[in-house]
Amino acid sequence: MLFCEKLKTYRTEHGLTQDDVAASLYVSRQTISKWENGVNEPDIHTILRLSDIYSVTLDDLLRGDEIVIQKLARKERSYKKLIWLVAILSGIVLLGLLCISVALSHETILP
């Protein structure tokens, strides 16, 4: 069974509406609908929360849908690249500010 199908099955087995699950996760009902129709997938943190809501393991939720697992892996790699990019840009900005600060302090010392 696909991940999106499992989401709908577990929700209905627990007698929950899309609105109920959306409220628990602080997302819109449309977001839940997109997940259940395979349009989008939640991030891994939300999947963890879904496993708690439905009282199932991550293995129960994800096993059997290699496409979703691959998408989650790609998202994780993208997040890591983004974090590195932000760190590098922050370093460049700090280095630039330090250079400006040093240059300005030397200007005030000179006659």
Q: Tens digits of per-residue pLDDT, 9-31? A: 999 999 999 999 999 999 999 99
pLDDT-derived band at 110 (thresholds 50, 70, 90) equals low
* SS3 sequence of the chain: CCHHHHHHHHHHHCCCCHHHHHHHHCCCHHHHHHHHCCCCCCCHHHHHHHHHHCCCCHHHHHCCCHHHHHHHHHHHHHHHHHHHHHHHHHHHHHHHHHHHHHHHHHHHHCC
Name the class of domain 1-64.
Answer: mainly alpha
Q: What is the pLDDT of residue 98?
A: 92
pTM of structure: 0.64
